[in-house]
């Protein structure tokens, strides 16, 4: 039977490319978002991934149905700008829950249940490793995703479950095309190219790779 791949945050441009890459190679794909909208040959589940209880209930349901994942992608994320001085408690909580909390609760269940040979890929951000002005809470929350990846890779090494992260910079999405300059878009990376790296990390071909933080910034 084909492996099950759980894609958390599969509704966006990058998430959709990840789903296409994994389904295209024959995985049974479960797409999780706040709403279970959409069609295609994938299973769709609605859950608030910032809620530990809802994430646990989701995994219970999948396991009971014979859909226990081998591969997990944590691709939920969001952005708000602002410096530390401009920040407010609500924005910090929002970005921490959305960027770190979703990856944390999903990874917690994966750490408890993934079989030997399973793997997790978290989607971080270039902002998490390069401090820059104007996106303080976003950068800090994504930096935490990177450290979560490293800690979890160490935690799960004895069980031979691998954990890695990819770090996009600018992604070539419709939203970015509508808002960014031509120069910024020249360096944007198509979602499918990032998805192919994720698919590799979620494969037996990457059996020797864990704890890696992989830049997917593109060239140029």
d(CA 203, CA 188): 26
- Bridge partners of 136? none
User: Is 217 known to be catalytic?
Assistant: no
Residue 22 contacts residue 5 (beta carbons within 8 Å): yes
d(CA 29, CA 69): 9
Alpha-carbon 40 to chain mean position:
21
Question: In the structure, how many helices (H) and strands (E) does the chain have?
Answer: 8, 7
Which residue in this structure is represented by tokens 């492996």? Answer: 3
Pick the catalytic residue from 47, 138, 166, 197.
138
d(CA 109, CA 121): 14
Q: What single DSSP character describes residue 63?
A: H
Active site residues: 138
């Amino acid at each position: 039977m084909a492996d099950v791949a759980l894609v958390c945050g599969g509704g966006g441009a990058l998430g959709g490319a990840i789903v296409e890459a994994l389904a295209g190679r024959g995985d049974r794909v479960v797409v999780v978002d706040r709403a279970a909208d959409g069609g295609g040959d994938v299973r769709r589940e609605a859950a608030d991934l910032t809620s530990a209880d809802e994430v646990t209930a989701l995994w219970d349901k999948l396991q009971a149905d014979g859909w226990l994942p081998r591969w997990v992608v944590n691709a939920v994320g969001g952005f708000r700008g602002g410096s530390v001085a401009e920040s407010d408690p609500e924005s910090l909580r929002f970005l921490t829950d959305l960027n770190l909390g979703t990856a944390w609760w999903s990874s917690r269940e994966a750490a408890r249940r993934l079989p030997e040979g399973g793997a997790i890929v978290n989607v971080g951000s270039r902002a998490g490793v390069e401090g820059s002005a104007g996106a303080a809470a976003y950068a800090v929350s994504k930096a935490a995703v990177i450290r979560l990846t490293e800690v979890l890779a160490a935690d799960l090494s004895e069980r031979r479950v691998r954990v890695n992260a990819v770090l996009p910079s600018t992604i070539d999405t419709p939203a970015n095309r509508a808002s960014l300059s031509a120069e910024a878009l020249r360096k944007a990376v198509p979602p499918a190219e990032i998805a192919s790296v994720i698919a590799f990390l979620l494969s037996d071909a990457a059996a020797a790779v864990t704890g890696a933080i992989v830049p997917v910034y593109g060239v140029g």
